[in-house]
Structure formats: C-alpha cells, structure tokens
Amino acid sequence: GSSEVLSRLFEARERPAFVRSAMAATGRVNVFARVRPGVAREDGDQHCVDMNTDTGKCLVRLQDGDAVERVLAGGSAAIRTVEKEYTFDGVFDQESNQKEVYEDVGKPVLKDVLQGYNGSILAYGQTGAGKTHSLLNSGMGVDGKPDPKQAGLLPRLVAALFVHVGADVKHVYTVEASMLQIYNEQVDCLLGDDREKAQGLQVTGKSEVKGLVWHKCKTPNELLQCFQKGRMNLVYAETKMNKSSSRSHAVFQIKVSKRPRALDKTGTKGGKVEMKATFGKLTVVDLAGSERIKKSGVTGTQLKEATNINSSLLSFGNIVQALAEKKKFIPYRDSKLTRILEDSVGGNCKTSLLVCCSPSAESSDETVSTLEFASRAARIEITATINEGVVVVDAASLVADVAGDGLDAALKLKHSEMMAMENKLKADAQKETAQLKKAKEDAVKAQQAEKAKATEAGKLMEKWRGKGGGGGKKNTS
C-alpha cells in the first residue's frame, strides 16, 4: 500500500534529530508544513517545493502552463517560472523525520493539555500527501517488524502522555479515549461494539456527539489498542492518487483529568475529600484529502465519497476564512465536520495545523491551494483557558493513592520515600512548633516571675522607707 511506500521513503531519509524551539504562545493557530519524498508514480516529474527548515519558509515554483501554445504561435520555448513563498511556524523537508515533526507539532500541544487546556492537532492536504503517515503510522516498518522511528504523531503523543503520567508521583490521572469518523456526512463511533448503534450519531452541542463511546485507559498499550481498533473500522479505498486513500475524516480524542495524589491517610476512614482538578482534552484530526476527480479517477461510490469530502473541506475552508477575517458570523453548521471542530478551531483550544504537500510539479496547483489555506489559518486568533473544577474523591481512592496504585515498583518506592519525607517534615514541623510554644510559655512564666519579684522588692523598699522616716521625726522632737 502507499502507506508502506511512504514509510520506506521516510525511513530511507532518516537523519539525526535536533532540538527545535517549542511552540510560542502567540494567541493564534500555529501552522506547520511538510513535504513528503517523491513516490514511484511521480518518477520523471520535476520537484517544485523547497523547504527551509531554518527560516520556516516554503518556496513553490509554478511553471508556465501556456508554454506549448506559445511555441505553436512561434514564441520562445523557454520555460517561465513563477515563485510563491510562504512563511510558517515550522517546515519539514523531505529529509525530516517523524521525531522532528512530533517535537515541533505534537509535544507543545500535549504539554498544554497536561496543564488543563484543550489542544488540537489537524492534518490537512491533498490526497496522498502524507497526512496519515505523519499522524497515524503505528511504528511498524515495511517488513512488518516494529520500527519506532516511523511512529506518527498520535502514537508518540500516547507514549509521551503515559511517560509523564508514570513519572508524576504527586498527581493522579484519568485518561479516556474516543474515536469517530465522518463518512458521507454521517458520524460513526469507531469504538462501539454494536456497529449498527455506532452509526449515524448526532452532533448535539458544541462539538459534542451523542452516543459516542469513551474508554478508560490505564496503560499506553490499552490506548493504542483502542485507536488500532478504531482504525480497522475506518473507510479506505484505492485511487489513482493513493493506494490507501482515507474516504472519511477521522477524529481521535483523549480526555486527561489530573488531581493531587493523597500523601497520607487523612480522611480515608469512610470519608470523602474534595480536590481541585484540571481537565484537558486532546483532539487529533486526520482530514480526508481533497482530490480532483479527473486525477483520482474515482467513480460510483468513491465519486460520492470524494464529492462529500470536497464539500466538507470547502465548509471547513469557509470557517477558516471567516475566522481569519474576524467575521461576526462563522458558518459552523454547514457540515458535520465543522460542527464537530467548532471547539477546536476558533474555540477554547490551543490549535496546531500540519499541512502536507506533494513535491511533484504535477501537483503544484493543489500544493499552492494547500499553502494558501495554511496562511489563512495562521491568522486565526485563539483564546484558551485552563479547564478547572472540583472532584470528590472517595475513601477507596484515597487508600489507593496512599498505596501508590498506578505506579510501577520504582515509582512506588519513590512515592514511599516522598511520603516518608513528607511525614518527617510534618513531624519535625510539629515538634518545632511545640518547642517554640513551650519556649514562649517558659519565657512568659519567667517574665511573670521576674515581675512578681520586682513587685515584692518594691513593697519591701516602701516598708523600709516608712520605718526610716518615722524614727527621724522621733529623734528631733
């Protein structure tokens, strides 16, 4: 399949990773562009895209489409080239690897989600441009053996999430996952066991889907298995442009709640404790690729699919245009896709967009269209706030906290050491407080004793003076 071909091409172009700067909190959508390596069907095609990874600039060379007519009319056969340049938050050339894409695009969004923000990552571009490879590649090589270097953004986000959860002994996390597709303007849950009930779900509120199944996941393997199950239910088809073309928009969601971990047994005997918590949501969207019907050669069912894909992408483009121009009315209700993405684009969310391009001159028009879309998206302003609330933790959960449930052996030891240190600090503080209190009381008693002695001495002095004064008068009379 084309995903295997792309894996092989990206694998052949791996290079040592380097540290890139984290996403700046600029208050707008952060936009990144990636050009994939050429594929076999493009052999002989000239490449028209140059990425400068140092400056974040993307250059597209457009050839003169009237050259043949010009020659027939007796004109010059010299090819005239028009160049278009775009600047984004980051770009990835054909040599860039999956880890570099994660470091720039995925890691900053995950950091925001762990702090309690909503975060979204969307992949957009022409069919066969490498979106699914960049987002969803499971980390398997072309030989069927695990190859972590080829893992896409989603598996890396899952792994990094649980690495963080496992290393944070001060907090308790709850992780839930869902997955849906929008196929021919129908919303389907991809994790429901009853496939009939999972189809044709309704979008009820702002980005809310009624009947969507959420699975709690305690390990990275559980979460990855959820998404693998969902991917098996996605609709793919072979076209001239892509041997494994996504025929639906795929939306992956991960909810992450975080609260403090109880470090002692206070309140564990039948009681409940209220704790502050944060609630972050990560949304990863693999948008089906736009395609020109003549190039993809689709007919019948695939023609209907392509028509719906292009229609929903047009609606998505319209809301991006409206948000970029700061219009008062945003047409979110024009499609199921835009209704579901209402909270991800222009809502309470930190959003990153990855646009993927083909290097071939044959696809230059589509590439320019993709990059123009990306430039508009970069003008969308965002306002995201941390989602905070209060959760009630029961006694059983508090006991589990103290026992270090959810931590591995090494972290349980670290947790026990932290608890022992915490208890020692509390005991030392209590001892110091008691000592200070006793010292204060002793000082007050000593002061009172000195005052009493001074009072007694004053009385004796007065008495002595009285006797001395009376004797003097008697001697002079």
User: Contact at 8 Å (CB) between 193 and 203?
Assistant: no
Q: Above 50 in pLDDT, residue 363?
A: yes
Helix or strand holding residue 307 (H, E) = helix 300-324
Task: Read off the pTM.
Answer: 0.76
Predicted confidence at residue 235, as pLDDT, reads: 65
Bigger pLDDT: 57 or 422? 57
Nearest to 388, CA basis, from 475, 260, 285, 300? 260
Amino acid letter for position 377: A
pLDDT band at 242 (very low <50, low <70, confident <90, very high): very low
Contacts of 154 (CB under 8 A, 6+ apart): 135, 136, 227, 252, 284
Q: What is the pLDDT of residues 391-416, one digit of tens each?
A: 988 888 887 777 777 665 555 555 56
Mean pLDDT of 172-191: 92
Tell the residue number behind the tokens 């290097």, with chain if given.
Answer: 359
What interhelical angle do 107-114 and 153-167 show, nearest 10?
Answer: 40
Bigger pLDDT: 114 or 432? 114
Kindly calculate the radius of gyration of the chain based on its CA atoms and give it in whole angstroms.
Answer: 34
Nearest to 78, CA basis, from 87, 66, 88? 66
Predicted confidence at residue 465, as pLDDT, reads: 79
Predicted confidence at residue 33, as pLDDT, reads: 97
- Among 35-39, 136-140, 142-146, 340-344, name the one with the lowest average pLDDT: 142-146
- CA atoms within 13 A of residue 412's CA, in its CB half-sphere: 10
Mean pLDDT of 140-159: 84
Mean pLDDT of 100-107: 96
**Cross-strand pairs, 84:** 60
User: Contact at 8 Å (CB) between 226 and 217?
Assistant: yes
The segment with the largest mean pLDDT, out of 1-10, 273-282, 432-441, is 273-282
